[in-house]
Structure 1
Amino acid sequence: MSALPGTTGRRRIYLMRHGHVDYFGKEIQAAGGDTKVVPLTPLGQEQAKAGGVALSHVRFDRAVCSGVPRTFQTATHVLASQPEELRPALEVEPDLVEIHGGGFIEAKSRAELAAQMAYHFEVAGEPGATMLKGGEVFADAERRAIEAVKRLLAEPGWHTVLIAAHEGINRLILGWAALGAKGSGLKAVQAFEQDPACINVIDFDMVPRGDGAVGTEIQRAIVKAVNVTPYNYVKHGMNMTSLEAIFARDPR
């Protein structure tokens, strides 16, 4: 089993959120509000490149994104800082796409919209709670995201992977990694802020399956770092949450 140097069965996931996007841009308007089409803004590209510089010394065995433009571009910018001969091919995992929202929230301004969205993740742990009215059930999104990570961890031949995903999905994965069998990770997602192009580091200790079957299973997860932003390590001036900043036109 491939493992991090100095360990017997530990694997590491560098889990990133995509860089800054404009959810009110012309691409979304042309697509009728479909957020899957939104690309990185120039600021988002610079944020992703900063992440690439910070991770340039890390040798990724594999690289995965959710497949939408903003995560594909983020991962591509990060991998561009890797030596070309060591750069892994970028894979797509559709189950890591962002939590599906319902229709647009009716609001008269960005400020009103931000106020409605500001505490939305706090309801994730409630039975049947959805991402906005008519959106995906948080528990369903958690299930698909975790299964995607588990599938990746079950595959041999790697010990370090880059995943470029989304704020909501990252929160779900972090909540699960932090609590595991000790409680519902959905109740923890509200605490895991995810700034644009941030980096999280999660280690997983893998052991042979307890039922004697071929393969491994997760013994424990270790959260090593959360919401690290290489373009502003100490968060100076980043006083808004990610959602507040998006709807307030704050170019963070």
Structure 2
Amino acid sequence: MSALPGTTGRRRIYLMRHGHVDYFSPEVIASGDYNGVPLTPLGREQALAAGDALADIPFDRAVCSGYRRTEETARLVLSRHAECADLPLETEPDLVELHGSTDAPPMSREKFAAAMAFQFDNAAEPGARMGLGTDGELFSAAAARGERAFLRLLSEPDWATMLVVAHEGINRLLLGWATGAGLKGVQAFEQDTACINILDFDLVPVETGEGNEISRAMIKALNLTPYNHTKFGMNMTSLERIMSPAEEHH
């Protein structure tokens, strides 16, 4: 099994959130395709800054959720890496963002942002769903598919360092899983756009069969933003910021 230098069974995942997007742009509203929303110019700048920060990391594999904003972010990050610019970009559908409700009542952008602000605080409640309606994805179901995706990736051979670009919600659930806090801990994990999390996993052989299992998960770094290391001026949550009018973004 491939492992980080100096270790016998440790692997590292650089887990990112995609760069800034505008879900309320005229083009997105007209198309109704919220999965295909592109990065804004700000989002591209953020992704390139992350790429500069990660330019010396020897990625063996690169994975995104398959949504346009994660693919664009991943490709911009890899473009800053001379040895990884041509690395194939894989897709992992189980890492797509949580599916929101389709039957939420109409409301203004401001009211929607206010209502969504505390979505993750109740994630551990029985039957809790994403969104403001009744048919959003269960947080528990999303957590299960995210965990399933990571376990599948960690079970695959021939890599020690991987780039994964996903979304705020699924990242929160994965971080809750990695800490052992589960859904009760996800509200504390802020995920700014184009942020970098660094997760290490110690793998050991399964005693009763083939393959490996996780013996320990460690968070080496959390919510790093190379475009603003100290978070100065980043006083809104990422959700508040992404829901705010474009002229408020700097």
* TM-score past 0.5 threshold: yes
Q: Quote the residue 1:236 is aligned against.
A: 232
Quick one: distance in 1 between partners of 2:202 and 2:84?
A: 29
Aligned to 1:222: 218
Distance 2:30 2:179 in 1: 39
Structure 2 residue aligned with 1:195:
192
Residues 50-86 of structure 1, C-alpha deviations (whole Å, 9 max, x = no match): 0000000101000000011100000000000111467
SS of 2:102's partner is coil
Mark the CA change 1:122 to 1:128 in structure 2 (over 3 Å): closer, same or farther. Answer: same
| CA RMSD, 1 decimal | 1.4
Distance 1:104 1:163 in 2: 31
What SS is found at the alignment partner of 1:57? coil
Match of 1:207 in 2: 204
Following superposition, the deviation at residue 114 of structure 1 comes to 1.5
Matches within 5 A, 1:1-252: 1-32=1-32, 34-84=33-83, 87-103=86-102, 105-106=104-105, 108-132=107-131, 133=133, 134-179=135-180, 183=181, 185-211=182-208, 213-249=209-245, 250-251=248-249
Cα separation, 1, equivalents of 2:16 and 2:194 = 6
Aligned letter for 2:49?
A
Residues 83 and 109 of structure 1: CA distance in aligned 2, closer, same or farther (over 3 Å): same
Question: Could you tell me whether the CA contact under 8 Å between 2:78 and 2:84 is conserved in 1?
Answer: no
Post-superposition offset of 1:247: 1.6
The amino acid of 1:24's aligned partner reads: F
39-48 or 240-249, which moves further after superposition? 240-249
Say if 1:20 and 1:43, in contact at 8 Å, map to a contact too: yes
Q: Structure 2 stretches of 5 or more lacking a match?
A: none
Counterpart secondary structure, 1:13: strand
- Aligned residue type for 1:226: L
Whole-angstrom CA distance in 2 between matches of 1:235 and 1:105: 33
Query: Could you tell me how far apart the structure 2 residues matched to 1:120 and 1:108 are?
Result: 16
Alpha-carbon offset, residue 108 of structure 1: 4.3
SS of 1:19 mapped into structure 2: coil
TM-score normalised by L of structure 2: 0.95
Aligned length: 246
In the alignment, residue 164 of structure 1 is paired with which amino acid? V
Structure 1: 5+ residue stretches without partners: none
Distance (Å, rounded) in 1 between the aligned partners of 2:30 and 2:206: 49
Normalised by the length of structure 1, the TM-score is 0.94
Contact 1:27 1:37 in 2 (8 A): no
Answer whether contact 2:201 2:216 (CA < 8 A) is retained. yes
- C-alpha separation in 2, matches of 1:147 and 1:101: 20
The 3-state SS of whatever aligns with 1:36 is coil
